């Protein structure tokens, strides 16, 4: 009497590689497109949170706080040009 055991591996499931690859690529094309620039309101909100972080560092590391303030200003100026 002979016993045969069959196991399934990921390679066995790839009998039609175009099927799973095509499905994956079709799924990627349905993803929403990322906006190229955040809305000005989002920029202002982000700059405000960076300024709040800078406020928290003002006593312990004023140079770092100054860098954060400058970064927040540059971030807001992108839309203002």
- Write the pLDDT tens digit of every residue in 16-27: 556 666 666 666
pLDDT at 68: 93
Judge whether 52 lies within some domain.
Answer: yes
**Contacts of residue 81, Cβ cutoff 8 Å, sequence gap at least 6:** none
47-60 pLDDT tens trace: 999 999 999 999 99
Judge whether 18 lies within some domain.
Answer: no
Judge whether 55 lies within some domain.
Answer: yes
Confidence of residue 77 (pLDDT cuts 50, 70, 90): confident
Host domain of residue 65: 38-81
Judge whether 10 lies within some domain.
Answer: no
| Number of neighbouring beta carbons within 10 Å of residue 72 | 21
Q: Contact 46/38 with Cβ under 8 angstroms?
A: yes
Judge whether 79 lies within some domain.
Answer: yes
Question: How many domains does the chain divide into?
Answer: 1
Judge whether 15 lies within some domain.
Answer: no
Residue 80 has pLDDT above 80, yes or no: no
Judge whether 64 lies within some domain.
Answer: yes
């Amino acid at each position: 009497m002979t016993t045969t055991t069959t196991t399934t591996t990921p390679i066995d499931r790839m009998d039609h590689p175009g099927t799973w690859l095509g499905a994956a690529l079709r799924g990627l094309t349905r993803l929403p497109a990322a906006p190229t620039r955040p809305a000005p309101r989002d920029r202002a909100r982000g700059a405000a949170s960076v300024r709040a972080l800078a406020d928290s560092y003002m006593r312990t590391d004023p140079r770092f706080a100054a860098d954060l303030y400058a970064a927040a200003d540059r971030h807001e100026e992108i839309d203002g040009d």
